[in-house]
């Protein structure tokens, strides 16, 4: 028997040793990659301009002393200095700059045998692990190593420059990541995959009006190489055999009396013009032009100036409560241009728009066939995405009262920009975050996963959980998600947040874990997966694609729909589970607005015995309605004895207005039982921002 027991112990030891060795090998994989990268990265300092910090990170990109970094810190080339990995400080000459790419190329004039080989570009896919290395916040000094942040690839997409808005002037392909790189000094650093190949250079902060947040991103190697070679002015942006036509004259005018920032309502049409032939009418509100959302006159003008008669053009307009899709067909014989006739094969690698970045396939050899649970997260994140994707929608809002708060916690105004939603019933119920609906938009449209655009109306709002319920029009048999039972949600489980508010129709992902349960008065799940206004309303899912909850901004100390938004992309995020909450759906479907509930008493612990002593009763509250008075003792709530204020708070914080509780109250020697219906917390009630008008939440 002892031989059998010893054999079992040896086998168990071998299995544990094998697992530990595998995990250690994975750990060593990135450790080695990071160690090698530190020998190829530098610290850059230069002139400061206004709020732009005068320091950045840099990548050594050649053996003869070329350094790639960001464009913004170099007002005077004589002031640029570079600190090498060994601590030496050298002056640098600016070779070239590119405002569109936000890059600068520096020359050190000394040999640099350790450098990044950008020709071996990483093909890391959505969900693959990456390391972002930079001198964020200028933490590292002299020969100290730079800071490292781990994350995953969220999305490969493109972005257009918007120089008249708050956006940085970057334009072109980019790789969104969920590692936090939107910090001072991070720009110019490197993003690497697990094999040590370069995903791209960390870009400067983009305060994107399309995403309503800041972007954490890398400029991919294809764009970096074009810049280093001096090819950034190349105009080979047309696809081979792409049709080229004449500018399109729609034959419509929009109202401009209120300014270029007013909604694009149709003023008049040219009789027989293209817009009139397509069925567009006066007073229609233009929602999108050729797939591009427009909310202002200036955006409409910019979108219409891009149109040609070479391709079909679809213009979507809102007419009362209906969406109208107007089709303007292409000219019958558009001319074509063959890019291959004027450029050689190398042009395909020098143009960022030649290859759609999202279609780059993963190659096992490019990632050195990494194995193990750590790397399996990449594949399961993609599988989870595929499973939940049909249930995730993009929500657009138009009109309404403009926000006046300005920037909140570093992001743009509340109620602006696209956001995300989750289908929860086949007949078109969509749950989303209340954050983007505090301004009572006049029109709401929802883009389904298959590209269809549908009108939506608000059924109800929940200010306790910062959720909003929408009803889609003209839909049936929509896909719905599977929810993780609340009693099966455990700390440490992998979690993936999804969002489609980033200006792309495909969801961006962020991988993390469940950090805590029963947060914010027992209502919320906490995660360290990055959550921002672009994916508020989107799902937080497990690695099977089941939904933990709906992502929302929340704060223990705030009751507004923007409370907690300052924590976006900070590693502190919250989601609300709807598992087992049929009552919530029925109340919202009935048009009820739900608020945090209160009994309406101020209490102290009773120094003379059991129960809580009433100090004050709020006039008109639930307590006042059942004649609870000062100096009464509240002994029990729903049969639960009370000994401290925390006992009462623990019960009430989980509940909302309308919930009923049974209280045992004692006055003098007499005890009685009363039933109260919680009344709304006064701080959560709608308030008017404009004298003479009703509260914004009532304008619907």
Through-space distance between the first and last CA atoms of the chain, rounded to whole angstroms: 78
Query: Concatenated DSSP letters for 235-281?
Result: ---SPTTEEE-PBP---EEE--TT-TTS--BEEEE-TTSHHHHTT--
pLDDT in tens, 264-273: 999 999 999 9
Contact status, residue 174 vs residue 218, Cβ threshold 8 Å: yes
pLDDT of residue 294: 87
Token pair, residue 199, equals: 């995903």
pLDDT of residue 150: 87
pLDDT of residue 48: 66
pTM: 0.70
pLDDT of residue 337: 45
Residue predicted with more confidence, 44 or 17: 44
- Alpha carbon distances (Å) from 18 to 4, 11, 67: 21, 10, 42
Closest CA relative to residue 514, chosen from 484, 536, 480, 474: 484
Q: Tokens 């990170």 label which residue?
A: 57
Q: Tokens 């209502």 label which residue?
A: 523
Token pair, residue 544, equals: 């099977």
- 215-229, 429-443, 507-521, 559-573: least confidently modelled range: 559-573
Closest CA relative to residue 150, chosen from 174, 129, 124: 129
Residues 128, 134, 137, 140, Cα dihedral to 10°: 130
Mean pLDDT score of the chain: 78
Which pairs from 365-368 meet CB under 8 Å and 24+ separation?
A: 366/122, 366/123, 366/193, 366/195, 366/197, 367/124, 367/128, 367/193, 367/194, 367/195, 368/194, 368/195
The percent of residues in the chain predicted with pLDDT above 70, rounded, is 74
Beta bridge partners of 78: none
Q: How far apart are CA 411 and CA 408, in angstroms?
A: 5
Q: In what order do the strands lie in the sheet with 55-60?
A: 89-91, 81-83, 41-45, 55-60, 66-70, 103-107, 93-98
- Alpha carbon distances (Å) from 582 to 128, 218, 577, 589, 685: 37, 43, 11, 11, 24
Q: What is the mean pLDDT of residues 542-557?
A: 87
pLDDT above 90: residue 36: yes
Residue predicted with more confidence, 409 or 418: 418
Contact status, residue 534 vs residue 525, Cβ threshold 8 Å: no
Contact status, residue 457 vs residue 483, Cβ threshold 8 Å: no
Closest CA relative to residue 676, chosen from 635, 634, 625: 625
Query: Concatenated DSSP letters for 375-419?
Result: HHHHHHHHHHHHHHGGGEEEEEEE-SPPP-S--BTTB--TT-S-E
490-522 per-residue burial string, b: 16 or more CB within 10 A, e: under 16: eeeebbbbbbbbbbbebbbbbbbebbebebbbe
Closest CA relative to residue 168, chosen from 214, 233, 137, 201: 214
DSSP-derived 3-state class of residue 95: strand
pLDDT above 50: residue 164: no
Contact status, residue 314 vs residue 287, Cβ threshold 8 Å: no
- 84-88, 101-105, 244-248, 486-490: least confidently modelled range: 244-248
C-alpha of 481 from chain center: 20
pLDDT in tens, 641-681: 988 887 888 788 778 788 888 888 888 888 899 888 888 87
Closest CA relative to residue 515, chosen from 534, 491, 486: 491
Query: Concatenated DSSP letters for 575-598?
Result: EE--TT-HHHHHHHHTT--B-BEE
The percent of residues in the chain predicted with pLDDT above 90, rounded, is 30
Helix axes of 373-388 and 2-38: crossing angle, nearest 10 degrees? 80
Q: How far apart are CA 126 and CA 122, in angstroms?
A: 12
Q: What is the mean pLDDT of residues 104-131?
A: 92
Query: For the chain, what's the residue count?
Result: 700
Beta bridge partners of 458: 470
> From start to end of 77-160, where are the E strands?
81-83, 89-91, 93-98, 103-107, 129-134, 147-159
Please report the domains of the chain, with CATH numbers, ordered by start residue: 41-229 (2.40.10.120), 246-328 (2.30.42.10), 371-592 (2.40.10.120), 597-680 (2.30.42.10)
H runs (alpha helix) in 294-371: 297-304, 347-350
């Amino acid at each position: 028997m002892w031989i059998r027991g010893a054999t079992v112990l040896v086998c168990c030891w071998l299995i544990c040793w094998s697992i530990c060795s595998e995990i250690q090998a994975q750990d060593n994989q990135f450790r080695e990659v990071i160690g090698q990268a530190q020998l190829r990265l530098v610290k850059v300092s230069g002139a400061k301009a206004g709020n732009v910090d005068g320091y950045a990170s840099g990548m050594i990109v050649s053996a003869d002393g070329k350094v790639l970094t960001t464009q913004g810190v170099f007002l005077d080339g004589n002031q640029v200095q570079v600190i090498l990995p060994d601590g030496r400080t050298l002056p640098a000459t600016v070779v070239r700059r590119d405002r569109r790419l936000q890059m600068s190329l520096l020359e050190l004039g000394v040999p640099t045998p350790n450098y990044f080989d950008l020709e071996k570009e990483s093909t890391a896919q959505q969900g693959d692990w990456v390391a972002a290395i930079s001198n964020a916040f200028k933490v590292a000094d002299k020969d100290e190593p730079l800071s490292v942040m781990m994350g995953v690839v969220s999305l490969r997409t493109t972005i257009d420059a918007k120089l008249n808005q708050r956006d940085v002037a970057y334009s072109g392909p980019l790789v969104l990541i969920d590692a936090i790189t939107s910090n001072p000094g991070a720009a110019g650093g490197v993003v690497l995959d697990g094999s040590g190949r370069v995903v791209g250079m960390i870009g400067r902060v983009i305060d994107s009006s399309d995403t309503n947040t800041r972007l954490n991103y890398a400029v991919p190697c294809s764009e970096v190489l074009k810049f280093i070679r001096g090819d950034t002015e190349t105009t080979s942006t047309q696809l081979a055999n792409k049709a080229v036509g004449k500018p399109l004259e729609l034959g419509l005018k929009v109202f401009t009396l209120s300014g270029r920032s007013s909604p694009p309502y149709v003023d008049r049409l040219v009789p027989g013009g293209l817009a009139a032939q397509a069925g567009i009418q006066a007073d229609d509100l233009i929602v999108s032009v050729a797939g591009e959302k427009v909310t202002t006159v200036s955006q409409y003008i910019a979108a219409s100036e891009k149109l040609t008669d070479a391709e079909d053009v679809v213009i979507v307009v809102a007419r009362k409560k209906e969406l109208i899709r107007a089709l303007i067909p292409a000219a019958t014989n558009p001319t074509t241009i063959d890019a291959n006739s004027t450029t050689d094969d190398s042009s395909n690698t020098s143009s960022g728009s030649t290859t759609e970045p999202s279609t780059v396939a993963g190659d096992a050899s490019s990632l050195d066939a990494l194995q193990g649970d750590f790397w399996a997260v990449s594949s399961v994140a993609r599988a989870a995405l595929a499973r939940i994707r049909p249930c995730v929608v993009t929500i657009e809002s138009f009109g309404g009262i403009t926000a006046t708060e300005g920037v909140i916690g570093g992001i743009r105004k509340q109620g602006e920009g696209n956001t995300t939603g989750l289908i929860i019933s086949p007949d078109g119920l969509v749950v989303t975050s209340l954050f983007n609906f505090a301004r009572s938009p006049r029109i709401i449209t929802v883009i389904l996963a298959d590209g269809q655009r549908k009108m939506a109306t608000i059924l109800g709002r929940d200010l306790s959980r910062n959720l909003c319920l929408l009803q889609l029009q003209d839909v049936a048999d929509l896909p719905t998600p599977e929810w993780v039972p609340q009693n099966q949600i455990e700390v440490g489980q992998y979690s993936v947040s999804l969002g489609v508010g980033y200006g792309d129709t495909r969801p961006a992902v962020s991988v993390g874990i469940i950090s805590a349960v029963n947060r914010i008065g027992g209502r919320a799940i906490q995660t360290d997966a990055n959550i921002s206004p672009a994916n508020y309303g989107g799902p937080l899912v497990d690695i099977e694609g089941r939904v933990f909850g709906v992502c929302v901004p929340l704060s223990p100390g705030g009751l507004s729909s923007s409370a907690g938004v300052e924590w976006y992309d900070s590693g502190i995020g919250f989601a609300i589970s709807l598992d087992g909450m049929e009552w919530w759906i029925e109340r919202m479907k009935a048009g009820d607005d739900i608020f945090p509930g209160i009994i309406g008493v101020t209490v102290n612990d009773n120094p003379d015995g059991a129960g809580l002593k009433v100090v004050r009763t709020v006039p008109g509250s639930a307590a006042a309605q059942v004649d609870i008075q000062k100096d009464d003792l509240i002994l029990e709530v729903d049969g639960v004895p009370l000994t401290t204020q925390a006992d009462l708070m623990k019960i009430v914080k989980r509940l909302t207005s309308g919930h009923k509780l049974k209280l045992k109250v004692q006055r003098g020697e007499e005890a009685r039982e009363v039933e109260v219906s919680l009344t709304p917390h006064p701080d959560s009630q709608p308030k008017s921002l404009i004298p003479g008008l009703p509260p914004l939440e009532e304008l619907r």
